[in-house]
Amino acid sequence: MASTATEVSASGLVDTKGRSDRPKRRQWSEAMKRRIVAETQEPGSSVSIVARRHDVNANQVFKWRREIAPEPLGSDPAPRSEESAPLLPVEIVPEPSGGVRPRARRNGVIEITFGCGARVCLRGEVPPETLRQVIELLR
C-alpha cells in the first residue's frame, strides 16, 4: 500500500496570494446602461449592432432593457402599435331567403412546384380535398 502523506499542498486549489487569472467583470454605470438602452430604442436601430459598438453581449442589453422599462403587470404580451388601424362600423344582415346563390365562376390559376421537380398547375375551382390528395401523392 501507498504511504500516507503527512502534509497536503493546497497551492493549486486555493489562491492564497489573492491573485486571479480571470479578468474581473466590467461594471457599467446606470447612466451608461440607460444610454445604451436608449440607443436600441431609436427607430431603425438594432440591439445587436448597438451591443457590438459598446462591446457588450446583446443578451446583456436585452436584460438591461427589461430592467429599465419593465412590462406592467397584467399587460398583453403582444406589442401595441401607436399607429393601429381605426375601427370601422360593421353591419350583420341576414342572408336572403331566396335559396342558395350560385358561386361566381373562378378563373384563377395556381401553380405549385415541389422540391423534387414535380409541378402542378390548377385552373378554375378545385375542391380542397382533391388538392390535398394531389399534394400528398407528390410528397
**What do you get for the CA distance between the two ends of the chain, in Å?**
70
- The whole-number pLDDT of residue 64 equals 93
**CA distance to 24, 33, 85, 86, 127, per residue, from 81 (Å):** 41, 25, 9, 12, 39
Q: pLDDT 10s per residue in the chain (139 long)?
A: 556 656 655 555 555 666 666 677 888 899 999 999 999 988 888 999 999 999 999 999 999 999 887 655 555 555 555 567 777 787 888 877 766 566 666 667 777 777 777 777 877 777 888 888 877 777 6
Task: Report the C-alpha gap between 42 and 45 in whole angstroms.
Answer: 6
- Give the contacts of 127 (CB within 8 A, at least 6 positions apart): none
pTM tops 0.75: no
Element of type H or E holding 68: helix 58-68
